[in-house]
Structure 1
Amino acid sequence: MTDLPGLDLSRFAAWFDGACPGQIGGPLTGRLLAGGRSNLTYEVSDGTHRWVVRRPPLGHVLATAHDMGREYRVISALRDTSVPVALTYALCTDPEVIGAPFYVMSRIDGIPYRTEEEIRPLGPVRTRAIAWRMIETLALLHAVAPAEVGLADFGRPEGFLPRQVRRWKKQLDASRSRPVPGIDELYELLAARQPEGTPATIVHGDYRLDNLLVGPDDKIAAVVDWEMATLGDPLTDLGLLVVYQRMDRLHEGPMASEAPGYPSETEILDRYAEASGRDLSDLGFYIALGSFKLAVILEGIHYRYVHGQTVGDGFERIGSQVEPLVVSGLAAIRKEN
């Protein structure tokens, strides 16, 4: 067995064989999967079967931001709903096994489309259909009654928006390594201009196209990366999705939302409003909150990068994306766009 950064395969094999007897049929190999700049995701195989292992990042870890137990619980709870998720096998809460808590789930065959180059060969019709399914899947998630799937106590819906604003300010303060113009002003405006909010549902917390695995039939095979899931205001998911798609214009290369056939922002919002029946008149606040949240997350990743605590490629560019997010967030909450 060849160990991976953050995953000792020998220790993992001993634990997994005890937790799920009979699953492993031979020596294990593994690889760090591409994508994901927060929790680490690995594919592990015995030559016949494949599993996915998720664990927190190495080094600097923000409190509550990488809770493996919560991620494992929500995926397990959604198994029998209309929301497509992977099959979960086991959760390990003992950090002595590989150095951090982790869990194991099934390997789903699917593509997490991110760039225009990746999705363009599908053509405009298929690209549009996938985008519609992305929105419809989000509405399906927000339609799940938490109590009916054992998640009534999964979060604290009361005071969700004020708590989110405070939480991300706390995370920012824990990750400061440089001045970021405007970010404190954005926080102050978010704290002062909060809407009443929307009745709570299960929220994903990081919903975007490349956190979906699209199967060969162009249907959503699984929603992945549930590390920020909770009970809260569903419009936070929609606002963050808008932020991600606006970020595409700032990226170094064309992203999936710029591919021919991909719906416009207005079409995306109209489709969600129709599917969910929700009022989107306060969406500017949610876009600003999404901008602030993502800026803080990227600043945390930048912090780990400058302290040599990241695994993978592309981290040297993360820090440059923070200030444009702050500018976009300020514009949204000031109703300038």
Structure 2
Amino acid sequence: MTTTPDGTEVVASRAEALQLPSPPLLIVDSVTQFLDDNALGDGPIDWQRIGDGQSNITYRIDRGAETFILRRGPRPPLPRSTHDMLREARIQHLVGERGIPVPRILASTGDESILGVPFYVMSFLDGEVITDEIPVMLDTLEQRRATSVAIVESLVALHSVDVTTGPLAAFGRPDGYLARQVERFASLWGVTSKRTLPAVAELGDWLRGTVPDSQRASVVHGDYRAGNLMFASRAPAEVTAILDWEMATLGDPLADLGYLTATYAEPGVEPTPLELTPVTREAGYLRRDEIAALYEQRMKVDLGDLRWYQALALWKAAIFCEAMYTRWLDGERPGDTFGPTLETGVPRLLEGAREFAGIGSSRTS
């Protein structure tokens, strides 16, 4: 049995798991049997938790000479509409068929008797994910700029995929996407929060009353940022995989651009809990307005309403971060060091959204 700051994370057998007050995240014999059933490797497994995700959980699984990645949701209880691992696996398969760089899905299951939640296994890709350290091969002014350009070019490629035909066309309903996003997240606040933050309703009203007309439909990743991209372990900078597809759907592509730019770290901008790649504050990386301008040039779209999309991004982020904060308050995220920071982090996200909306700054708590 392996104990971590998260509580008991991994146990050897189902018998051990049944003795725990809170379910573990991995059960070694269950995972081993699942890999056997799908002809994935041979022999005992080693595991390592990877990534900075605060929602779904990612493990590296080493088995003999082979390496896999296992993705699962957090511990129950969870709303049935969240953490849909089978849907996440399917969208990666579909965009991969269209030439978007993603890991290959090897096996998936909705059988909750194995780990307590649905999960999937995908191929392991060797590369660099940029968060708080710059990979040596990309740490020149030229390659820092090239990294920013690659981030934009990868997003342009995703948003250029045709979603009007084939299986992708049935993956979502792009018509009315923005209005549905506002209504959906507005409805979540009352069931995820134990406190009153007036800016949530204020911003919801503003967003609802100023919804822009979508210019096109595309795959929307939903969490598109530098930390969810894998880069080749060499120069020049090249995105070799887009990761973490749990929020993907069809909709307005500017929602991704709004999120990317609103959460992008640059000098002079106060950090929020969504600033997960702080190195872009360093010299050489493009700034938010340069990223937007490059995207606009490549996609031939009008970015006159970009601040609406940026406000939407931080408002939504505040609401789903509040859900994490509430779960931490309720003891459902044992050992979590991110949860307590959201007491002030969520109001900061709301202040950022107000700034983008241009409706003034005020206390949110």
TM range (shorter): over 0.9
Q: Of residues 74, 82, 103 in structure 1, which corresponds to 2:91? A: 74
Which stretch has the larger CA shift, 78-87 or 117-126? 117-126
The alpha-carbon deviation at position 85 of structure 1 amounts to: 0.5
Mean CA deviation greater in 80-89 or 95-104: 80-89
Aligned to 1:15: 34
Instruction: Report the Cα distance in structure 2 between the residues aligned to 1:13 and 1:70, rounded to whole angstroms.
Output: 23
Structure ID, larger Rg? 2
Structure 2: distance between partners of 1:26 and 1:40: 24
Structure 2 counterpart of 1:316, from 304, 316, 340: 340
Deviation string for 1:196-239 (max 9, x for gaps)? 12221101001000000112123112100000000000000000
Matched with 1:232 is 251
Q: Is the 8 A contact 2:163 2:217 kept in 1?
A: no
Q: Cα distance, 1:54 vs. partner?
A: 0.8
| 5+ long unaligned stretches in structure 2 | 3-9, 12-23
In structure 1, distance between residues paired with 2:217 and 2:347: 30
**Contact persistence 1:119–1:127 (CA under 8 A):** no
Report the Cα distance in structure 2 between the residues aligned to 1:172 and 1:197, rounded to whole angstroms.
25
Match of 1:329 in 2: 353
Gap change, CA 1:124 and 1:60, over 3 Å in 2: farther
Q: Distance in 1 between matches of 2:342 and 2:77?
A: 16
The structural deviation recorded for 1:310 is 2.3
* 1:119 CA displacement: 5.2
> Please, which of 143, 146, 149 is the counterpart of residue 126 of structure 1?
143
Partner of 2:194: helix, strand, or coil?
coil
1:44 and 1:53 in contact (8 A); partners too: yes
Instruction: Tell me if the contact between 1:243 and 1:287 (Cα under 8 Å) persists in the aligned partners.
Output: yes
TM-score normalised by structure 1 residue count: 0.92
3-state secondary structure, aligned to 1:17: helix
SS class of match (2:96): coil
Name the residue aligned to 1:167.
184
Q: What is the aligned counterpart of 1:301 among 315, 320, 324?
A: 324
195-204 or 129-138, larger mean C-alpha shift: 195-204
How far off is 1:102 after superposition? 0.5
Q: Which moved more, 1:60-69 or 1:306-315?
A: 306-315
SS at match of 2:114: coil
The residue that corresponds to 1:220 in the other structure is 239
Alignment RMSD: 2.2
Residues 1:189 and 2:206 are matched in the alignment: yes
CA distance in 2, matches of 1:188, 1:244: 22
Aligned position for 1:261 = 284
Among 294, 301, 306, the alignment partner of 1:283 is 306
**Structure 1 runs not aligned, ≥5 long:** none
**Bigger relative contact order, structure 1 or 2, given CA contacts below 8 A and separation 6+?**
1
Q: In the alignment, what sits opposite 1:249? A: 270
Contact 2:272-2:348 within 8 A present in 1 as well: no
> Structure 2 matches for 1:32-47, cutoff 5 A?
32-47=49-64
SS at match of 1:221: strand
* Percent of aligned pairs with the same amino acid: 31
- SS of the equivalent of 2:36 reads helix
| Structure 2 Cα separation of the partners of residues 101 and 148 of structure 1 | 28
- Asked if structure 2 preserves the Cα contact closer than 8 Å seen for 1:62 and 1:174, the reply is no
Q: Size of the alignment, in residue pairs?
A: 334
Partners in 1 of 2:79 and 2:315 — Cα distance?
16
Cα distance in 2 for partners of 1:119, 1:278 equals 33
- Separation in 2, partners of 1:229, 1:240: 13
Residue 119 to residue 325, structure 1, CA distance change in 2 (3 Å): farther
Contact 1:288/1:333 (8 A) holds in 2: yes
Indicate the residue corresponding to 1:198 in structure 2: 215
Which of 82, 92, 110 is residue 93 of structure 1 equivalent to? 110
Partner of 1:54: 71
More displaced 10-residue stretch of structure 1: 80-89 or 156-165: 80-89
> What are the superposed Cα offsets for residues 274-326 of structure 1, whole Å, 9 maximum, x if unpaired?
11111111111111110111111111111122222226543322332211211
Q: CA deviation at 1:64?
A: 1.9
Q: 1:243 to 1:273 in 2, by over 3 A?
A: same
Q: What SS is found at the alignment partner of 1:161?
A: helix
**Which one is further off, 141-150 or 284-293?**
141-150
Secondary structure in structure 2 of the residue aligned to 1:103: strand
Superposition pairs of residues 95-174 of structure 1, within 5 angstroms? 95-115=112-132, 117-118=133-134, 122-148=139-165, 150-174=167-191
CA distance in 1, matches of 2:337, 2:232: 26
